[in-house]
Amino acid sequence: RAWTYNPGQRRVRRAPNVAYDNPGTTTDGLRTADQFDMFNGAVDRYNWRLVGKRELYVPYNSYRLHSDDLSFSDILTPRHVNPDHLRYELHRVWVVEATLASGARHIYKRRTFYIDEDSWQILVADIYDTRDRLWRVSEGHVINYYENPLIWPTLELHYDLQARRYLALGLDNEFPMCTMDARIRSRDFTVSALRREGRR
């Protein structure tokens, strides 16, 4: 179950189904709910196949993109992100293909994921429509948070090739650095906690 806080009504309400191919929240339909963090959710609507390992140019070590010397306007440009700030490197990845299962429904017929062999983070996803034509491409521009340790996207990009639009998620250049050391308790994930945190 998912909940949302409506500041205008000052009420917590049950959110609609946040799964599968429902539109991602505040994404203008450019990402589905299960594309959060490149893929997140139930795997039951697809048949999964490990294709194998290959070398591919993928977004990696994107420290320049993460720099607080850059503003959002330096990075975000019409139709695509400013390539001057992106970094790709030849890297070994696992290729995993997800094909829509018989009788299952999803707006994506097929997805191909390119997964970092070291961290298991999805770095690139090719996404195909019901006509089996390439529709969207997603990229996770990762950096290594050595102190945690983990590899995590500093920017997640979802390009819609047919609509010629894109969605950029996770930029934090103009905000204080994320520390990932928050102390959380199970009571922080209740409807009451959401209501307490809500602001008008």
In total, how many domains does the chain have?
1
- What domain range is 99 assigned to? 3-174
Residues comprising the chain, all counted: 200
- In this structure, is residue 183 part of a structural domain? no
Q: List Cα–Cα distances, 66 to 5, 25, 188, in angstroms.
A: 30, 24, 29
Which residues make Cβ contacts (< 8 Å) with residue 44, sequence separation at least 6?
101, 104
Give the tokens for residue 171: 């930029």
- Strand pairing report for 150-160 and 134-145: antiparallel
User: What CATH number does the domain containing 117 carry?
Assistant: 2.50.20
Digit-by-digit pLDDT tens for the chain (200 residues) are: 777 777 777 788 777 677 899 888 788 989 999 999 999 989 999 999 999 999 999 999 999 999 999 999 999 999 999 999 999 999 999 999 999 999 999 999 999 999 999 999 999 999 999 999 999 999 999 999 888 888 999 999 999 999 999 999 999 999 887 777 888 899 988 888 887 877 64
Which H/E stretch holds residue 192?
Answer: helix 191-197
Tokens encoding 154: 């500093």
